[in-house]
Amino acid sequence: MNQDILVVVDYQNDFVAGAFGFRSARLIEDRLYKKVVEYLNGGKRVFFTVDAPDESADEERPSRYPAHCAYGTEGGHLYGRLREFEESDYQKSVCFVKKETYLTTGLAKAIQRYNMAPDGIELCGISTNVCVIANAFYIQSAFFNSRIVVDGSCCASKEKALHDKALAVMASAGMRVV
């Protein structure tokens, strides 16, 4: 299902194959790539959330997570074939939104700059039960009159049971899960 806007959540090296990586995250690469290309070829906008924790905050309050996705490091880049969307050729259609926690208020602001009231927003990425669900609920709240679609085949979690439960929760909240 092609909506007005596609949001790809945290498909970065450290979350796919690095410190927090898991097999099912690697398995969705081709489907994600095809989906992004479909949106871009259709003249639509694609937003990538990129986890970029504030490392300076860790000096005062140690993180419970190991260092990851540091800006400018290999771990912070998009994984696999999706990295090509970081290239300047796509800058007019691709937007990167940095986030320091599970979700980012910057995502809604970025979408509003592009399209004040999108008819539909599709989300995919990793991890379904943490960052995808957090951003989906935030986007649903920010764009209450928009159709929110989550493509379960382009999402992944470390545990399949948590992936399935997160999709069920989003569906129960009125999001269309495909």
Answer for the pair 140, 148: CB distance below 8 angstroms, yes or no: yes
Q: What is the mean pLDDT of residues 28-48?
A: 95
Q: Does this model's pTM top 0.85?
A: yes
- Answer with the residue of higher pLDDT: 86 or 52: 86
Give dist(CA 77, CA 119) in Å, integer: 30
Q: Which two tokens stand for residue 62?
A: 């140690």
Q: Is 5-177 CATH 3.90.120.10?
A: no
- pLDDT tens, residue by residue, 58-107: 455 455 555 666 666 777 899 999 999 998 677 788 998 887 666 677 88
What is the percent of the chain where pLDDT is above 70?
84
Give dist(CA 55, CA 71) in Å, integer: 10
**Per-residue model confidence (pLDDT) at position 104:** 74
Tell me which H or E stretch contains 34: helix 29-41
The two most distant CA atoms of the chain are separated, in Å, by: 46
CA atoms within 13 A on the CB side of 146: 27
**Per-residue model confidence (pLDDT) at position 47:** 95
**Per-residue model confidence (pLDDT) at position 1:** 53
Domains of the chain, by residue range, sit at 5-177
Query: Is the C-alpha dihedral spanning 16, 141, 101, 44 positive or negative?
Result: positive
Could you please report the per-residue DSSP string of 112-138?
A: HHH-SS-SEEEEEEE-IIIIIHHHHHH
